Amino acid sequence: MKAIVIPDKFKGTMDARTAGEAISKGIISVMPFCSVLRLTAADGGDGTADAYIDNAGGEKRFVTVTGPNNKPVHTYYAKLNDGTAVIEMAKASGLAIAEEGSSPLHTTTYGTGELIKAALDDGCRKLIIGIGGSATNDGGVGMAAALGGKFLDIDGNSIELTGGGLARLNTIDLSEIDSRIKECEILVACDVDNPLCGKDGAAETFSRQKGADEDAVKELEKNLLILSWVAKRCHIGDMLCLKGGGAAGGLGAGLSVFLGGKLVEGAPLLLEACSFEKHAADADFIITGEGSLDAQSLHGKLPAAVAERACGKKVAVIGGRVLLTAEEAENAGFFCVEEASPKGLSMDEIKLRCQKDLEAAAARVARRFL
């Protein structure tokens, strides 16, 4: 028998590689005769650069950039064998590297722009930019400023390149943006389809988990509206109409209107890079998973993308926790759904036993396939 193991990260406990190893062990414990192909996956968030290196071949290019709190961060992007750069905004402007107590009123995507510039200097002209896991809500003005864009107040002075700084924005000038951008194909890999503003927008949906209180949420929403109005008045583009424009605190919209990037779902892009459908064609079953399986998992996340492209093969999904109903799971095309972590555990307890619990869950799934 042949199995494909292709989980995303189990956020807070395991990266995708570690999760894949645990699931593979669980399968082999029940099916020692089974051949397991392990693929590293990501949907545009943490781990995207590493996943592309694993699947398409390439190397890490290290660089020091400006972190979300305006302090230096030593990080990397991936340069693939075909010359494509895979840039993970979370490595420059992400929540995981933000200072404790940060607010998206004061964080910036400037370092993401510096990563893009480093890739341009390296000769890359196709860019895949994963924008999950952000600590920011600046609409991408920091990113664009690092590449030569100017964001000015009514007196012609540069604004603070943060979610809070947008309140003073009056003019956008892209005349001096890096000319090499025009030579590039830019694919923006995101795992959500939220708009820039409104009840489903960047501030209302995501800023609380980045440290915003209720007053800050309202201010961030107002400031993104200011950004969208100024962008339209300056003939830069319509930031409000973009599906996925609210991803990464509006970086999705910023990459689209400031750089001409194309917003795409991150998971299908990765599955194409690892030739998933070719491998699935001669597999007997497939196991995917992620840390939390809920309704969002069915919209732009890896498990749903795997089920959609499984060539009719049975797909099981394992979640650290499972909030899907049986009907939702069946409608998504999953053969079975398994929960790895026992209920009632603290996060500290889950971290201590998560690999063993995932291995055991995979063994239970394997018995279902038998």
Q: How confident is the model at residue 156 (pLDDT cuts 50, 70, 90)?
A: very high
Nearest to 29 by CA among 355, 363, 364, 284: 363
Residue with tokens 């302090």: 71
Pull the structure tokens for residue 181.
């951008």
Q: 347 or 227: which carries more pLDDT confidence?
A: 227
Residue with tokens 């009123």: 105
Q: What is the biggest distance separating any 2 CA atoms in the chain, rounded to whole angstroms?
A: 72
- Which residues neighbour 57 within 8 Å (Cβ) at sequence distance 6 or greater? 80, 81
Nearest to 194 by CA among 253, 124, 245, 268: 245
**Range from 60-74, 150-164, 267-281 carrying the lowest mean pLDDT:** 267-281
Q: What is the rounded CA–CA span in Å between residue 6 and residue 278? A: 14
Beta strand pairing status for 35-38 and 58-66? unpaired
Q: Flag whether pLDDT at 297 surpasses 90.
A: no
Partners of 265 in the β-ladder: 190
Give the Cβ contact number of residue 273 at 10 Å: 19
Radius of gyration of the chain (CA): 21
∠ CA 130-136-140, rounded to 5°: 65
Q: Flag whether pLDDT at 299 surpasses 80.
A: no
| Contact criterion met (CB below 8 Å) for 51 and 40 | yes
Task: Give 162-200 pLDDT, tens digit per residue.
Answer: 999 999 999 999 999 999 999 999 999 988 889 999 999
> How high is the mean pLDDT of the chain?
95
Domains of the chain, first to last: 2-41+280-369 (3.40.50.10350), 48-267 (3.90.1510.10)
| Amino acid type, 152 | L
What's the confidence (pLDDT) of residue 246? 97
**Within its chain, how far is the Cα of 292 from the centroid?**
15
